[in-house]
Amino acid sequence: MKPLNTKRSETLFTRAQKHIPGGVNSPVRAFHAVGRSPLFIRKAKGATIWDEDGNAFIDYVGSWGPMILGHAHPSILGAIGKVMKHGTSFGAPTDLEVRVAELIKTCIPSIEMVRMVNSGTEATMSAIRLARAYTSRDKIIKFEGCYHGHGDSFLIKAGSGAMTLGVPDSPGVPSSVAASTLTARYNDLESVRELTLASAGHVAAIIVEPVVGNMGCVPPAEGFLQGLRQICDEQKIVLIFDEVMTGFRVALGGAQELYRVKPDLTTLGKIIGGGLPVGAYGGKREIMQLVAPAGPMYQAGTLSGNPLAMAAGYAMLSTLSKSRSFYVKLEKKSMQLEEGIRGNLRTIGLELTLNRVGSMFTLFFTDHAVTDYTSAAKAERPRFADYFRGMLARGIYLPPSQFEAAFLSAAHSDRDIEKTIAANLITLRQVYKPQVM
Ligand SMILES: *Cc1c(COP(=O)(O)O)cnc(C)c1O
């Protein structure tokens, strides 16, 4: 196997580090967890990305989720090109915004009204402000290991004992803000009940990734989401599904369609922007009516509903919703990849945990079931790093962290999948040499 020539990427990274903190504009891109420097990407098409040195890779990052149709999809590029000729931003309402809102509502019926923003982070920050405004309560419950963007309220994990006050994960988060965030264990309804009892009458919202992607792919246990719905109903707490990753990914109507649980509010991002910077939050009319200028809860954005972003989003959502079989075909591809990897594990005699929901998946380097943050954290990170580098050298670009979900797109061909399965077999053998074989 030839080692990768990544000279140009390395030179660029040296320059980038002089001018940009850590050389990147979002931390995970720096490849810290996998022991090498990042690739600088020049272009992408379908399931393939090319770096600045001209190396080609089959891409399972998909810009962290948006690229469900594959890169540079003609319908999205075409829509952006058409709208762009008329100008890039007006700061005034447009026809396209109305059509995007209508389309989102059709696909996700729990959304009766929707507000567009510019990122997933903005969507979740706005959604909890809204829940607080609606309930006149201050506390929120999130789950250990769930990521909801970089808002102050979300950069919290449980201290020792989930009943204690939140402790910030990052300097700069005021302890007074952290104290309003309570942290429960994913897939553990009892931990949620304890928190709601201890803070009875003070919890405004429970926010959850209905399928977790941000500790690697972790599906909800049977009854977990239903249980959250019940607790929220009993205690008049606003249930927020953060579907920034799962919306239009695990089903057209997101995880709420797949698991048949209706949240009060939903946050969206990633896919709905077709690769442009977009987020959205929406839900029950009664709650959304509080958003300014319909109501008193202030939230605004100079570029919100930007025409280019709306054009890309509209093209994306209409392409996804037009074809009834889109998600069936994507599931088939994903299943094919899962079965190939499971076959490899049997061939080698390895017991690793593979979690998959639709086109989101993670191979965890542990033989324990991964159901929450504690079990995810048991995965052997050095093995993952070896695996990542081995796969990269064989032309497969995976998320550079054990705790990020990988994504398939409609553009991954049978050949791409077969090549990935073959690379997986050789790389796993190499990673576990000499213990197995
Ligand atoms: C990516 C993500 C966010 C943050 O979205 P940004 O657009 O990166 O701000 C929030 N929640 C979930 C579940 C995500 O996956």
Residue 30 sits in a domain whose CATH number is: 3.90.1150.10
Is residue 348 within 8 A of residue 432, CB to CB? The reply is: yes
Is residue 186 within 8 A of residue 145, CB to CB? The reply is: yes
pLDDT at site 166: 58
Q: How far is the CA of 4 from the centre of ligand 1 (A)?
A: 31
Q: How far is the CA of 5 from the centre of ligand 1 (A)?
A: 32
Domain boundary among 322, 338, 361: 322
- Are 191 and 305 found together in one domain? yes
- Are 24 and 119 found together in one domain? no
Residues designated as active site: 147, 242, 270
Residue 248 lies in a domain: yes
Count up the domains in the chain and report the number.
2
Q: From the centroid of its chain, how far is CA 276?
A: 15
- Are 49 and 182 found together in one domain? no
State how beta strands 396-397 and 56-59 pair. parallel
Pinpoint the alpha helices (H) of 289-401. 307-322, 326-348, 373-376, 381-393
Q: What percent of the chain clears pLDDT 70, i.e. is strictly above it?
A: 96
Closest CA to 173 of 155, 146, 158, 147: 155
Closest CA to 239 of 258, 256, 257, 219: 256
- Are 127 and 240 found together in one domain? yes
The pick from 208, 270, 362 for probing ligand 1's pocket by mutation, whose C-beta has the most ligand atoms within 8 angstroms, reads 270
Residue having the nearest C-alpha atom to atom 5 of ligand 1: 120
Residue 405, token pair as written in the block: 């979900």
Residue having the nearest C-alpha atom to atom 6 of ligand 1: 120
pLDDT at site 11: 98
What's the rounded Cα separation, in Å, for the pair 381 and 396?
A: 18
* 215 pLDDT more than 90: yes
- Are 98 and 237 found together in one domain? yes
Closest CA to 146 of 163, 169, 115: 169
What's the rounded Cα separation, in Å, for the pair 57 and 83?
A: 31
What's the rounded Cα separation, in Å, for the pair 261 and 29?
A: 34
Residue having the nearest C-alpha atom to atom 15 of ligand 1: 245
Residue 86 lies in a domain: yes
Q: What is the DSSP letter of 400?
A: S
Q: Which residue has the tokens 């509080």?
A: 290
- Are 159 and 290 found together in one domain? yes
Residue having the nearest C-alpha atom to atom 8 of ligand 1: 120
Q: Which residue has the tokens 């939050």?
A: 281
* 160 pLDDT more than 50: no
366 to 64, 182, 273, 338, 422: CA distances (angstroms): 23, 29, 35, 17, 21
Q: How far is the CA of 341 from the centre of ligand 1 (A)?
A: 28
* 196 pLDDT more than 60: yes
Pocket of ligand 1 (CB under 6 A): 119-121, 124, 147-149, 209, 213-214, 242, 244-245, 269, 279
Domain boundary among 322, 350, 377: 322
Place 220 in a pLDDT band, splitting at 50, 70 and 90.
very high
Closest ligand 1 atom to 242 CA: 13
- Are 231 and 271 found together in one domain? yes
Q: How far is the CA of 149 from the centre of ligand 1 (A)?
A: 5
pTM: 0.96
Q: What is the CATH number of the domain that holds 281?
A: 3.40.640.10
Q: What percent of the chain clears pLDDT 90, i.e. is strictly above it?
A: 92
* 161 pLDDT more than 50: no
Residue 69 lies in a domain: no
Q: How far is the CA of 3 from the centre of ligand 1 (A)?
A: 34
Is residue 169 within 8 A of residue 178, CB to CB? The reply is: no
* 433 pLDDT more than 90: no
- Are 231 and 87 found together in one domain? yes
Place 2 in a pLDDT band, splitting at 50, 70 and 90.
confident
Closest ligand 1 atom to 149 CA: 4
Closest ligand 1 atom to 64 CA: 1
* 159 pLDDT more than 90: no
Is residue 307 within 8 A of residue 90, CB to CB? The reply is: yes
Neighbours of 414 (CB within 10 A): 9
State how beta strands 139-143 and 181-184 pair. parallel
Residue 286 lies in a domain: yes
Q: How far is the CA of 234 from the centre of ligand 1 (A)?
A: 29
| Mean pLDDT computed over 32-57 | 97
Residue 270 lies in a domain: yes
The pick from 214, 403, 407 for probing ligand 1's pocket by mutation, whose C-beta has the most ligand atoms within 8 angstroms, reads 214
Residue 411 lies in a domain: yes
- Are 307 and 360 found together in one domain? no
The pick from 121, 207, 276 for probing ligand 1's pocket by mutation, whose C-beta has the most ligand atoms within 8 angstroms, reads 121
Closest ligand 1 atom to 243 CA: 13
Q: For residue 249, what are the domain limits? A: 74-322
State how beta strands 353-357 and 360-364 pair. antiparallel
Helix, strand, coil distribution of the chain in percent, nearest 5:
40, 15, 40
The pick from 63, 212, 245, 357 for probing ligand 1's pocket by mutation, whose C-beta has the most ligand atoms within 8 angstroms, reads 245
- Are 181 and 302 found together in one domain? yes
Neighbours of 24 (CB within 10 A): 16
Q: How far is the CA of 243 from the centre of ligand 1 (A)?
A: 9
Pinpoint the alpha helices (H) of 146-223. 175-178, 189-198
State how beta strands 56-59 and 113-117 pair. unpaired
Domain boundary among 322, 341, 358: 322
Closest ligand 1 atom to 119 CA: 7
Q: How far is the CA of 269 from the centre of ligand 1 (A)?
A: 7
* 158 pLDDT more than 60: no
- Are 331 and 238 found together in one domain? no
Place 435 in a pLDDT band, splitting at 50, 70 and 90.
low
What's the rounded Cα separation, in Å, for the pair 266 and 127?
A: 8
Place 167 in a pLDDT band, splitting at 50, 70 and 90.
low
Q: From the centroid of its chain, how far is CA 299?
A: 23
* Strands ordered across the beta sheet of 406-407: 353-357, 360-364, 406-407
pLDDT of 324-383, one tens digit each?
899 999 999 999 999 999 999 999 999 999 999 999 999 999 999 999 999 999 999 999
Residue 1 lies in a domain: no
Residue 68 lies in a domain: no
Closest ligand 1 atom to 279 CA: 7
What's the rounded Cα separation, in Å, for the pair 276 and 130?
A: 25
Residue having the nearest C-alpha atom to atom 11 of ligand 1: 148
Closest ligand 1 atom to 245 CA: 15
- Are 171 and 26 found together in one domain? no
